[in-house]
Amino acid sequence: MLNYKLAEQIRKLRKAKRMNQVELGKRLGVTKACICNWENDNVQPSVEMLVRLASFFSVSTDYMLGFEPGEYIDVTGLPDDVVAHVRQIVEDLRAVESKS
C-alpha cells in the first residue's frame, strides 16, 4: 500500500508540473526508465532520491509517502506581503472549487 502511494504521488506531482518522464529524469539526473519504474511501482527510489524528489516538488517526504494529507508550497525567502498574497490566491481557488 505504501509503495503504491509513492508511485501515485510521483506521477501526480510530475503531471502537475506538466513534465514528461524524460524531462523529470533529466532534472533529477536519472533515466526515463528509472522514472517509469518508480511510477509503476516496480522499483523504489533510494532514500536520497526520495529527499531529492520531495525537494524538487516542494513537498515533504511524508507527503510523498502518503503520511501527510496536504501539499505545501515553499515560500522560504519571500517577503511577508508576497506570502500573504499566495495564501489569498490559494483561498480564492478553494472557494471557486467548492462552488463547482
In the prediction, which pLDDT does 87 show? 86
Going by C-alpha positions, the residue among 89, 45, 91, 94 that lies closest to residue 65 is 45
Per residue of the chain (100 residues), give pLDDT as tens: 455 689 999 999 999 999 999 999 999 999 999 999 999 999 999 999 999 999 999 888 998 998 877 667 778 899 989 988 998 898 899 888 888 7
2-65 to CATH, choices 1.10.3720.10, 1.10.260.40, 3.40.50.1370, 3.30.70.270 = 1.10.260.40
* Matching residue, cell 524531462: 23
Burial of 24 (0-12, 13-18, 19+ CB in 10 A): buried
Three-state DSSP at 31 gives coil
In the prediction, which pLDDT does 94 show? 85
- Domain boundaries, given as residue ranges, for the chain: 2-65, 73-100
Q: What is the pTM (predicted TM-score) of this model?
A: 0.70
Going by C-alpha positions, the residue among 68, 67, 91, 71 that lies closest to residue 13 is 71
